[in-house]
Amino acid sequence: MTACGLDFGTSNTTLGTIHGNGVALAALEGGDTTLPSAVFFDFEEQRPVFGRAAMAAYVTGAEGRLMRSLKSVLGTPLIDEDTLLQSRRIGFRQVIGLFVNHAKTVAEAALGRELTHVVHGRPVHFVDGDPEADARAENALRWIAQDAGFKEISFQYEPIAAALHYEMQTVREEVALIADIGGGTSDFSIVRIGPERAGRADRAADILANDGVRIGGTDFDRLLSLEAVMPHLGFKAPLHGNLITPNGWYHDLATWAKINFLYTPATLAEVRRVKARAVRPRLLERLETVLTRHLGHTLAMRVEAAKIALSAERAHDIDLSPVEPGLDAPATRGRLAEAIAEPVDRLAAMVRSCLSQAGLAATQVDAVFLTGGSTLLPAVRTAITGEVPTAKVVEGDKFGAVGLGLTLEAARRYG
Ligand SMILES: Nc1ncnc2c1ncn2[C@@H]1O[C@H](COP(=O)(O)OP(=O)(O)OP(=O)(O)O)[C@@H](O)[C@H]1O
Ligand SMILES: [Mg+2]
């Protein structure tokens, strides 16, 4: 029996294994312990590639189809649907299956042993306010893990896993707010942790609050795209007869998981019809270029890169030259903060709701532990830490804390 922890993330995946008394993340791609949750089906070679290699294959223009943000499909009806790969259809469930199987196989090769037992991470809610869809999403992951060959599968909430990891570095008892803001979901726990409590079998009484919301970095990408890029492709552009362009295309193009749905002859024909009525047909021509050349993911990657750059810089131009030579979309930290203000406010509200679930005043929280890539966004950090102003801010391992915590839990459950 060999146990592991698996954090299948919307944007990044990690897998940890047990080594003596400790845990470590496996190198899943070259020396990297994170594997971007991306699959590229190469039409020429007729095989899937994963992670950074998938994105690189797409960017270099290999003929094929890129899929990212697959976890956001869990809990929606899409999970039971197919997507078209040339003349072949493949279900989303199978695509996630190929990805999980790949991560497992790479880790097994490094370890020299088969992985049989897994503690699988899951967000507190895959879908907001729909317990049935939530159960379906967990069942889909269980089915996928079984299909990949795991014999024993159990789940742990991602923020609780992060708490277990953080607990290993505490020197005294603390009440900690764990904030895990990832690509697809934002999860929060308020927990009582400390060296004395670590490793106890039943921690239920130490979990004072646990909640989450389906907001994450891919939403911030979508909102930045709609704000800064899509207007250059005709979003909200006027048509003759006092109308504007239909906005569904732009929302899909700005949403990682939906980009491929736009690449149909029917959509292209519709865009051409609308172009004929546009006050500025040039804008719709750009949209036409994006659809005919399948540039949707190129744009989404540039928007995401700009969002990340704006965590360090005040302004960043998004280079749209693949769509039209010389075309740039300026973006600033201020415009980004404005575009994401509404969901960021909801994150702050969720912290307040967790405090009230826990029956605590903000000043009773000793530490706020930040993990997940989106806690690197200044607007997000400020909103969260601002709700617990007296707590010390602990910078967690942004991409590894959840996977390591799931592995600690695997050691406890199966070790
Ligand atoms: N410096 C940065 N500034 C802002 N956002 C960032 C930065 N670095 C990474 N991100 C964002 O963090 C997100 C990925 O974070 P992470 O890997 O924690 O998510 P995940 O675990 O895959 O998703 P989830 O837990 O929601 O399923 C992406 O949306 C990415 O754009
Ligand atoms: Mg995560």
Query: Which CATH number, 1.10.3720.10, 3.40.50.720, 3.90.550.10, 3.30.420.40, labels domain 172-216+341-396?
Result: 3.30.420.40
Testing ligand 1's pocket by substitution, the residue of 12, 369, 406 carrying the most ligand atoms inside 8 A of its CB is 12
Closest ligand to Cα 184: 1
Does residue 184 line the site of ligand 1, with CB under 6 A? yes
- The residue assigned the tokens 């704006």 is 310
pLDDT digits (tens, 9 = 90+) for 303-347: 999 999 999 999 999 999 999 999 999 999 999 999 999 999 999
Query: Which tokens is 230 given?
Result: 């899509």
Does residue 372 line the site of ligand 1, with CB under 6 A? yes
Burial per residue of 86-110, b for 16 or more beta-carbon CB atoms within 10 angstroms, e otherwise: eeeebebbebbbbbbbbbbebbbee
pLDDT at 77: 87
pLDDT digits (tens, 9 = 90+) for 38-97: 999 999 988 999 999 999 999 998 899 999 999 999 988 888 888 878 878 899 999 999
Is the pLDDT assigned to residue 410 strictly greater than 80?
A: yes
Does residue 36 line the site of ligand 1, with CB under 6 A? no
Does residue 385 line the site of ligand 1, with CB under 6 A? no
- H or E stretch at 146: helix 131-147
User: Which residues surround the ion ligand 2 when the cut-off is CB under 5 Å?
Assistant: 9, 182
- H or E stretch at 82: strand 82-85
pLDDT digits (tens, 9 = 90+) for 209-225: 999 999 999 999 999 99
Strands 174-181 and 367-371 turn out to be parallel
Across the chain, how many H-helices and E-strands are there? 13, 20
Does residue 376 line the site of ligand 1, with CB under 6 A? yes
Q: How far is the CA of 376 from the centre of ligand 2 (A)?
A: 13
Q: How far is the CA of 123 from the centre of ligand 2 (A)?
A: 8
Confidence of residue 99 (pLDDT cuts 50, 70, 90): very high
Testing ligand 1's pocket by substitution, the residue of 7, 8, 10 carrying the most ligand atoms inside 8 A of its CB is 10
pLDDT at 19: 95
Is the pLDDT assigned to residue 184 strictly greater than 80?
A: yes
Is the pLDDT assigned to residue 363 strictly greater than 90?
A: yes
Closest ligand to Cα 75: 1
Average pLDDT value over all residues in the chain: 96
Testing ligand 1's pocket by substitution, the residue of 374, 380, 399 carrying the most ligand atoms inside 8 A of its CB is 374
pLDDT at 146: 98
Q: How far is the CA of 303 from the centre of ligand 1 (A)?
A: 13
| 8 Å CB contact between 177 and 365 | yes
Q: Which atom of ligand 1 is nearest to the CA of 71?
A: 27
Question: Which ranges in the chain are annotated with CATH 3.30.420.40?
Answer: 3-158+404-414, 172-216+341-396
Angle (CA) 98 103 105, round 5°? 90
Q: How far is the CA of 328 from the centre of ligand 2 (A)?
A: 32
Those residues with Cβ within 8 angstroms of residue 257's Cβ, 6 or more apart along the chain or in another chain: 68, 69, 70, 72, 73, 78, 218
d(CA 408, CA 7): 12
| 8 Å CB contact between 128 and 92 | no
Per DSSP, 391 falls in state S
| 8 Å CB contact between 234 and 278 | yes
Q: How far is the CA of 217 from the centre of ligand 1 (A)?
A: 6
Query: Which tokens is 93 given?
Result: 């469930």
pLDDT at 133: 94
- H or E stretch at 38: strand 38-42
Torsion sign across C-alpha atoms 193, 198, 204, 210: positive
Give this prediction's pTM.
0.96
Give the pLDDT mean for 24-38.
98
Nearest to 220 by CA among 347, 73, 336: 336
Q: How far is the CA of 152 from the centre of ligand 1 (A)?
A: 29
Give the pLDDT mean for 222-237.
98
Beta strands in 159-242 (DSSP E): 174-181, 186-193, 207-213, 238-239
Nearest to 36 by CA among 187, 218, 163: 218
- The residue assigned the tokens 């008892």 is 173
Query: Which CATH number, 3.30.365.10, 3.40.50.1110, 3.30.420.40, 3.40.640.10, labels domain 3-158+404-414?
Result: 3.30.420.40
pLDDT at 160: 98
Does residue 13 line the site of ligand 1, with CB under 6 A? no
Nearest to 305 by CA among 225, 397, 395: 225
Closest C-alpha residue for ligand 1 atom 9: 373
Angle (CA) 338 339 345, round 5°? 70
d(CA 382, CA 179): 12
Is the pLDDT assigned to residue 381 strictly greater than 90?
A: yes
| 8 Å CB contact between 41 and 85 | yes
DSSP 299-365: HHHHHHHHHHHTTT-SEEEEE-TTTSTT-EEEEEHHHHHHHTHHHHHHHHHHHHHHHHHHT--GGG-
Does residue 102 line the site of ligand 1, with CB under 6 A? no
pLDDT at 270: 98
d(CA 92, CA 100): 12
Q: How far is the CA of 372 from the centre of ligand 1 (A)?
A: 6
Q: Which atom of ligand 1 is nearest to the CA of 184?
A: 26
pLDDT at 120: 98
Q: How far is the CA of 322 from the centre of ligand 2 (A)?
A: 31
- The residue assigned the tokens 């496996």 is 26
Does residue 157 line the site of ligand 1, with CB under 6 A? no
Classify the phi-psi angles of 87: left when phi > 0, otherwise alpha if psi is within -120 to 50, otherwise beta. alpha
Alpha helices in 359-400 (DSSP H): 378-385
Give the pLDDT mean for 205-212.
97
d(CA 391, CA 177): 9
Confidence of residue 359 (pLDDT cuts 50, 70, 90): very high
Nearest to 9 by CA among 216, 302, 225: 216
